[in-house]
Chains A and B, each alone.
Chain A
C-alpha cells in the first residue's frame, strides 16, 4: 500500500503488502455509555502499547555509539509512551475498568494497524532508518496539521487521522458521562499508579481520581506526542516544571530532516536550526516483517528470538498486574525491559541465519510475537515467584 505523508509529502511504507494485524473495534463515535468509554480507553491502552516495540526496534538497531542524538530522542519518546500507557490505565481504572495487557487479542503481531486509525498505515518493526522515523511521524502527527472536524462534533466513523483526535473523542465522551454520572470516577484508588511507582524522564505518573485529573492526563498524552497546539513543545514545563522539550512529532522531524529546530521555529516553519547529522548506514538492516518461523528450528538465532518473546510475555504480565491492583509490579517491569534491550541487541548484531539474506546484509530480529502458550508459560513462571521479579516488586 502507499501512504502519502501529509506533512512531508513523501510517500512510503510501500514495502509491506501483508494484511495488518488489528484489534477488534466496535464503531468509532463519541462514547455514550460507560462500557463504551472503557472500551475506548482499552483501545487507547493498546494503541499506546503498540507504538513501543517499533520505537524500541528503531532504537536498538542503531549501531553502538552511532547516532546518539537520535538514540536519545527515541529513548525519550519510548519513556513517554510508557507514561501514556500508565495514565490510560489509570483512567480506565478510575472509571471502573480492568486494563488488559497480557492478551494476544490486545497485543497484536506486527505489522499492525493502530486501533481506530482511519488509514491502513502499517506499524512495522523497522530498523533505524528514514522509514522508521516516518512511521513515528505518522503516529505522532499533530491535530492541527490536518483539516480536522472540530471537537464536539461526531468524529469520522471511519476512524481518527491523528491520535489527538482519538483522545479528543474520548475526552468528549468522558465529559458528557461525568455530567450525567457524578460517580463516574469511583474506581478503586489502590489500583492507581502514582509517582512512587513510575517516575522518569518526561514526567511522572499521577493518579486519576476525577474528571480534572483525567482531562490533565489526556492533555499530557496528546501534547507530549503532538505538541501544545501551535507549538513544537510538549506541556512538561507547564505540568511538571521541567525544561522545555520538543513533542514527539517534532523530535522525529528533527531526525528526519537532519536539522534542529531553532528558538523561533514553529510547526509550520519546520526545523531551521543547526544541522543534526544522521548516519543512516550506522544501523543494522533487518526485515520489518520478520517472524520467528523464518529462522531454522534449533538455530541459535531461533532460540534467542523465542527466548526474547518469552521474556516479552513476562513483561506483558508484569504490566498487566501493575495496572490491575499491584502498582509496585511496575518496578519489576523496568528490569525486564532492560533485559529485553540486551536480548534484542544481540539478535540485531547477528547476521540473518539465511545465508542468502545475510549476504545482503540483513540481520536477525526480535519479533515481538506473543501467543497464548507463551503467555501461559510466562504466567506460570511468575506465579512460582521465580527470579528477581517477586523481590523487586517487594522493594520500596
Chain B
C-alpha cells in the first residue's frame, strides 16, 4: 500500500517521457493522455481514502529508512493537494482538446504538462527538504518551457522576469537546504522538526526560518515578491493558464503551510504575525492591481495574488481553526480560479478577444456562458452560499477572535474590490450590448470548452453547497498538519521499525 505513495510522481513522469517519443499528435495520443490524467485522479482519490482510514502512507525510497533515505509521505494534506492537482490537470487537458483542433497542437505541450504535474506531485508527496528543491526545479523548468512554448515574439519577453525571480528563489532555496543540513544534520522533515524544537530559541533557527519562508513566499507570490506573476500568466494559452493559476502558486501556499506546521517550531509567533501582515498587504495590493487591468486574463492573474493573501493570512493566524480555513480555502480556490480562467478562454473564443473594450453581448446571446462566469466570480468574491464564502467567513471569524481588526477590515475591503472587478468583467463582456462586437456562435469550439468549465463550476458548487464533509476533512487535515510530535513519531518511528525488519 505504501508504494502507492510515490505513484502520483511516477505516472506523469513516465507519461511525459512516452509522450516525447510518441511525437505525432492525433486523437489516440489525446485519449492516452486523458486516460493518464484520469488514472492520476483515481490514484489521488485512493490516497485520500487511505490517508483517512489507515493514516499517512510513509515510504522510504529504495528501502532506505527515513533519517538516511528520502522519505515520501502522503498524509491528508498531501493527498488533498494531489487530488486537486489531478483534477486541474485533467480539466486543463480536456479543455485544451476542446479549444485546439488536433492539427494545430504543439507536440510538446502534453508531455510538458505531464512533467509539470510530476514536479507538482513530488512537491506534495516528498518529506525531504532537498528532494523538495529538486521537485521545485522539475516543476519550474517544465513551467518555463510551457510559458515560452506557444508565446509569440511580442510576448516572450514577459517570461524573463518570471524566470529571473524564480531562479533567484531556487538559488536561495538551495542555500536554505544546505544551511538546514549544516544546522540540523538532516534534511528529513521529521528530523529537522525534532532538532528545531530542541534548538528552539536559537537565533540561527530563526534566521534559517526567515530564509526558508522568503523562498516559499516567492513561490506563493506574497507581497512584496509577487510582481513576476501577473504579467507572465496572461501570455499562456488559456488551458495551460488554467492549470498554472490553479496549481503553481498553491504549491507555494502548501509548502508555507507545511513549513509552519511541520518543519518549524510552533512558537515563532513573530514570524507568523509578519506572515499575516504581508498577507494583508498582498490581498489589498493584488486586488487593486486587478481593478487596474482591462482584460480578463490580466484581471484574473492579479486576483490569484489577492486570494493567496487570504490563504497566507489564515496560515499566519496559525490556529487549528485558521489552518482548517486555509485548507478549505485552497480546495475552493484551485477549482474556482481554474474555472474562471476557462470561462475567460470561452469569452476569448466567442468575442475573438478578452479585452474588455472588444468584448460584449454575451449574456443576451449566450446565457449559459454567462452563468459559467458568474457563479465562480461570485464565489471568488465570497458570496454565500458559494464555496468562497465559507473559507472567508472562517478567516474573518478567526481574525475577530484574535482581535486583528485591521487585517479583518483589509480582508473585507479586498472582498468588496474583488466583487467590483468581477462586476467590471460582467458589465462589459456579458451585460453590455454593442452591435459592433461580433459573437461567433458558429465557432463550435465553445461547446466543448464550456462543458469542461461547467464541470469545474459544478464541482465548486458542490463544495459550496455541501460544505460539511469538506469542512470535516479540512479540520482533520488541520489537526494532522499541526500535530508535529505525531509527524516525527510517524516518520522516525516507522523508520525504526523498517530498520528492525529484515
Whether A associates with B in a native complex is no
Partner-B contacts on A (CB < 8 A) = none
